[in-house]
Structure 1
């Protein structure tokens, strides 16, 4: 597939301005991890254009896990089940700026957004608007643009078989995001995927116009295979989400509280951890996940 048209679109949007507060918290995160090559900015604060009252979402792309982590166990966990997730806050002009940032090697992320990577966790995330706050050099910038374009291509290729022969860019991305939401510990409200695509209608129209002509036409066999793959992703994705919840208890200060808040914000389901669950976030993670599931926190 020719990714150059997708790369041209992403190249034109990747330098979207971010506030000095966002740059400040990103620099504080970078200072904690030697060998950082690039910092990506995505999520709700990027979409709203404001970080006040929110949690800035960042990805740090590093050279190696061993170099980026002082603790060998953290490096091992990052390699075995990427990414590691951390919390960072900085004082800025009389207020506190807060960020949640994930960490993965650049080379690993380049693999994780291809079609060889079964689960949609990475390629769905980076098919959405993403800014590049900082890169170590021009070569890293080019690689960052290329992996974002590959994310779009992978998402489109994995979703196209589910749609009729005559379809639109908006329909492609709406179905894609709706499918990916179902693979994680999240319960987005109906219509959320359509809302996201409509917000960036011009972007997704342009990406889809580049992508759809290059994808093979759908077939009955292809649709059956794609449905099976997405069903397996839903099962595998929830297992991975529980595993990441468990790992976050060690790598993300305040991780248990943050994750419960995140699920509540998306689903409206609130679970208050018991005192022993607060003291032992690792041991309690499966119990909390089961209670959330029973109450409808995720499907």
Structure 2
């Protein structure tokens, strides 16, 4: 009964978190993107820096479009196959809302894949590490689907903390757990983050993580830290360290595979690249229809031309 009570409290935490109001531009973007996938859409998860800050202009929104199946989501079979083999597929979207250009990057993931990739069974960290952070569900198909997605998000947070507990066996301090968890997951993806990134992510929503931690520890039945005496077997620690080694290896490999796949599936990628480079370097790029038709070749040519102009080193 106590376990059910702990899980119920965890569910209530995320249910309350999803009551947060988001800007109208976010709702409009989510709605327009959803129309591309029609009745296949189960819901839209909004997450990322724009959720934390509420800033939209000159930013890019982050969404996950949750669908019932890839077959029903795509008219082109090869896109469905690509999404199933190496999820998710990622796309770029632009729209005008009240005179402001609203840019979005969104990924497509099936509800079944979301549930699996938020669970402890999933070796790859990318989905459960992302959704243990703040997110909001928009446009749920119905209450049953909303409940399943909320359960997946709760599982993501449990997976995150559950996997790092053996590495922090003498402490249950919220800061220690989350900073360690973020550092482990960032090291398991193909990205270059400065030292202290884990602390930065925790600090951005410290109150939220501090409220969530005791709920997770109760749900995991891990409220009391283990003590590092000589009688305590170190095998769980060794096993957990080995599993993190496997997660890092898997994360690097999958990240490269996703980059290769994105060169073929990232619809609108050349527009996103042009905007991103212009925003950070000040070098303006005119994207032509020819470039959109041949994004891979155009991307290579664009790279060398921009390097000569000093857009990056």
Normalising by structure 2, we get a TM-score of 0.81
Check 1:215–1:160 CA distance in 2 against 1; reply closer, same or farther (3 A cut): farther
For 1:260 and 1:90, locate their aligned partners in 2 and report how far apart those are by CA, in whole Å: 16
Q: Please state if 1:198 is matched with 2:203.
A: yes
Deviation, 1:156, is 0.8
Partner of 2:94: helix, strand, or coil?
strand
Corresponding residue of 1:248: 262
Whether the 8 Å contact between 1:248 and 1:256 is mirrored in structure 2 is no
Q: Deviation of residue 165 (structure 1)?
A: 1.9
Displacement, 1:237?
A: 0.6
Q: What displacement does 1:160 show?
A: 0.5
> Structure 2 CA distance, aligned partners of 1:280 and 1:137?
38
The 5 Å alignment of 1:122-137 reads 122-137=127-142
2:17 aligned partner: 13
Q: Aligned partners of 1:208 and 1:225: how far apart in 2?
A: 24
Is the contact made by 2:62 and 2:105 (CA closer than 8 Å) also made in structure 1?
yes
Look up the match of 1:54.
59
| Equivalent in the alignment of 1:88 | 93
Pair 1:178–1:92, CA change in 2 (3 A):
same
Q: Which residue of 1 aligns with 2:308?
A: none
**CA distance 1:215–1:80, shift in 2 (3 Å):** same
Match of 1:115 among 84, 98, 120: 120
What residue in structure 1 maps to residue 34 of structure 2?
Answer: 30
Match in the other structure for 2:245:
231
Asked if 1:220 is matched to 2:234, the reply is: yes
State how 1:139-158 maps to structure 2 within 5 Å. Answer: 139-158=144-163
1:177-201 per-residue CA deviation (whole Å, 9 max, x = no partner) reads 1111111121122212112112211
Alignment of 1:239-278 (within 5 A): 239-255=253-269, 258=272
C-alpha distance in 2 between matches for 1:235 and 1:70: 34
Kindly provide the CA deviation profile for residues 99-126 of structure 1, in whole angstroms up to 9, marking residues without a partner as x: 0000011122111111111111111110
Mapped to 2, the partners of 1:140 and 1:112 lie a distance apart of: 17
Decide which of 65, 74, 79 is 1:74's aligned counterpart.
79
Q: Which residue of 2 aligns with 1:281?
A: 296
Structure 2 distance, partners of 1:104, 1:173, is 26
Match of 1:161 in 2: 166
Q: Distance in 1 between matches of 2:294 and 2:252?
A: 24
Cα distance in 1 for residues equivalent to 2:199 and 2:69: 37
Check 1:262–1:125 CA distance in 2 against 1; reply closer, same or farther (3 A cut).
Answer: farther
1:294 aligns to what? Answer: none
TM-score, normalised to structure 1's length?
0.84
> Structure 1's 3 and 130: CA in aligned 2 closer, same or farther, altered over 3 A?
same
Unaligned 5+ runs, structure 1: 269-277, 289-299
CA distance in 2, matches of 1:187, 1:13: 30
Counterpart in 2 of 1:44? 49
Alpha carbons of structure 1 residues 169 and 3: separation in structure 2 relative to 1, 3 Å: same
**Structure 2 CA distance for aligned equivalents of residues 173 and 261 of structure 1:** 33
Given that 1:86 and 1:251 are in contact with CA atoms closer than 8 Å, whether structure 2 keeps it comes out as yes
CA contact (8 A) 1:160 1:215 kept: no
Q: CA deviation at 1:281?
A: 3.0
Over 3 Å counting, the alpha-carbon distance change for 1:10 and 1:261 in structure 2 is same
